[in-house]
């Protein structure tokens, strides 16, 4: 049965009473403490919260990189907890894109090879037209033969974004994607994530510590002690700061 979250139409991603505990006995830590959420297709959601509040753990569970202690993660109607490792890897390659703060590009491959890698691994042929559209919109068409070490931080991040978008994933997870970038490179990355959600109807889930970055999202979730303690709809940076201050106070 596919669970359905009231008030959320056409969910790309849902969680039902998601719990993740690490360790046992006295040293046990509940990193995610019963989270039920729905993410619409094409929605751009920022996840914020103090250090240790469970943001990375939640992302890892949503992306099928870690298994929950209990509860469910459902992507496009498929319950990840019911898949075996092979099915999960296949779903991750086909339906999920990842963008990390540290870019995670392979140093021996050039930009184009890095971008194509997930498709190559999945044994799929790239759609050259879509490839051209993405690299042009990210303005890296002149950098495709360069290796990561020959690119600026902003260019490397744009290569990582192209790689994440080329498989046309249903959901893109971005973990502090602007953490290592200056203001103008950050802006470009955030604009591109916004386009992915608006134009390509991809759901974007972004962890960030930056209220300005979070203000690019449709919705901000505020996490504390592994639970969602607040939500800011149509956020502005001051509204996010205010909500964070209220949560901490």
> Applying CB under 6 A, which residues contact ligand ATP?
22-23, 29, 31, 49, 51-57
CB of 58 to ligand ATP, least distance (A): 7
Alpha helices (runs of H) in the chain, residue ranges in sequence order: 55-62, 85-95, 111-121, 128-137, 153-166, 183-198, 211-214, 237-248
CB of 57 to ligand ATP, least distance (A): 3
CB of 73 to ligand ATP, least distance (A): 15
CB of 50 to ligand ATP, least distance (A): 7
CB of 128 to ligand ATP, least distance (A): 38
Residue 51 CB burial class (10 angstroms; 0-12, 13-18, ≥19): exposed
**Residue closer to ligand ATP, measured from CB, 31 or 75:** 31
CB burial readout 80-91, b (16+ within 10 A) else e:
bbebeeeebeeb
Spell out the residues 6+ positions from residue 147 whose beta carbon is closer than 8 angstroms to its own. 107, 108, 109, 110, 111
**Residue closer to ligand ATP, measured from CB, 155 or 224:** 224
**Residue closer to ligand ATP, measured from CB, 23 or 25:** 23
**Residue closer to ligand ATP, measured from CB, 36 or 69:** 69
Q: Which two tokens stand for residue 200?
A: 């390509």
Pairing status of strand 70-75 against strand 11-22: antiparallel
CB of 31 to ligand ATP, least distance (A): 3
Spell out the residues 6+ positions from residue 26 whose beta carbon is closer than 8 angstroms to its own. none
Residue 100 CB burial class (10 angstroms; 0-12, 13-18, ≥19): middle
């Amino acid at each position: 049965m596919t669970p359905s979250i009231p008030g959320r139409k056409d969910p790309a991603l849902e969680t039902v009473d998601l719990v993740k505990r690490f360790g046992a006995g006295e040293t046990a830590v509940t990193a995610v403490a019963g989270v039920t959420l729905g993410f619409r297709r094409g929605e751009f959601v920022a996840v914020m919260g103090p250090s240790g509040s469970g943001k990375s753990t939640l992302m890892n569970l949503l992306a099928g990189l870690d298994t929950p202690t209990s509860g469910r993660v459902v992507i496009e109607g498929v319950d990840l907890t019911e898949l075996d490792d092979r099915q999960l890897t296949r779903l991750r390659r086909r339906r999920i894109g990842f963008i990390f703060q540290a870019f995670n590009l392979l140093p021996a491959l050039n930009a184009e090879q890095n971008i194509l890698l997930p498709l190559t691994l999945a044994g799929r042929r790239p759609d050259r037209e879509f490839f051209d559209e993405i690299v042009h919109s990210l303005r890296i068409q002149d950098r495709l033969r360069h290796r990561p070490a020959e690119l600026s931080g902003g260019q490397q991040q744009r290569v990582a974004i192209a790689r994440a978008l080329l498989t046309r994933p249903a959901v893109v997870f971005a973990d502090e994607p602007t953490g290592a970038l200056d203001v103008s490179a950050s802006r470009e990355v955030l604009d591109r994530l916004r386009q992915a959600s608006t134009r390509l109807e991809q759901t974007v889930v972004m962890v960030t510590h930056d209220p300005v970055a979070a203000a690019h999202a449709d919705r901000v979730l505020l996490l504390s002690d592994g639970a969602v303690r607040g939500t800011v709809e149509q956020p502005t940076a001051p509204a996010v700061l205010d909500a964070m201050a209220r949560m901490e106070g």
